[in-house]
Structure formats: C-alpha cells, structure tokens
Structure 1
Amino acid sequence: MASNQQAGPGIGNLAKDTTNGRIGVVMAMIGGRVQLRPINGGTEWDAKPDKVVALRARDELSARLAIRNGNSRTGL
C-alpha cells in the first residue's frame, strides 16, 4: 500500500457509510464490498469501500452512549 493511502476501518470497528449516513460495525469485506451491521443489531448492508469511513473518537463515543442509553431503557 502506498504511503498516501489510508486503509479503511477494520473488522469489528465502528464506521460510517457516507452514502446514507448510517453507522455500523464492520462485519466483513466480501466481493469488493464492506458489510456493516447496525450497532444495536439487525440486518447487515453492503457499502462501497470508498464510502466507508472510520468514526472520529467523538462520534464513536456518541454512538456507544446512544446504545448504552437505549439498553438502560429496555432493561438490558
């Protein structure tokens, strides 16, 4: 990989699909696509690798806090 290229987020990391603004967990990279799953579970979707970006620390914290708050409301 050239030094001016950045690798996308790795499997298990939170990422944002810039096509639709959705945040998910990177589950796999198959057939030239990145598979993302919603952070609170659900059906995976495919995204183009060049449209998937790693979350900034602030955005990741916000997403994880939203999950925690949702779980506390449902008793999980």
Structure 2
Amino acid sequence: MMDTSRRRVGEFRGVAGPYWSLRPLGGGAEWEAEPEHVRPADPRERLSAETARVNARSRGDLL
C-alpha cells in the first residue's frame, strides 16, 4: 500500500481505530495512516521500496 501523505510503501497490518496500520516492506516499525491517504502501490513504487530495502540490508543498515 502507498501512504500518499508520507510517500511510503508498506504492508497493510490492520485497523487501529480510524487509522490503518502499515509496516515497511521487510519489517520495521509500523505507522498509522488515514485510510483516505492510502491506495494500492503500483509496481514501480513497490519495486523501488524493495530495492531500497535490499540496498540497506547490503550496507548492513538495521531494518
């Protein structure tokens, strides 16, 4: 899912009151997003997020 207010791609994890919980691809801290700012990520956005995760992992960054 793409959170357009934060320009972040995440996996849908559930509903928390009026918000949706999203988690970065590959793990990390969840964040809450307003449903009206969330839409399915297009293939380019998902590939970009996955590439960033793989690059961070190769550098030894904590995910």
Residue pair 2:9, 2:45 contacting (<8 A) in 1 also: no
Where does 1:22-61 land on structure 2 (aligned, <5 Å)?
Answer: 22-39=8-25, 40-42=27-29, 44-61=30-47
Partner of 1:73: 59
Between 1 and 2, higher relative CO (CA 8 Å, sep ≥ 6) is seen in 2
Which residue type is aligned with residue 37 of structure 1?
Answer: R
Moved over 4 A (4+): none
Residue pair 2:20, 2:34 contacting (<8 A) in 1 also: yes
Structure 1 gaps of 5+ residues are: 1-14
Q: Secondary structure at the match of 2:22?
A: strand
Q: How many percent of aligned residue pairs carry the same amino acid?
A: 38
Q: Secondary structure at the match of 2:6?
A: coil
- Over aligned residues, Cα RMSD in angstroms? 2.1
**How many residue pairs are counted as aligned between the two chains?**
61
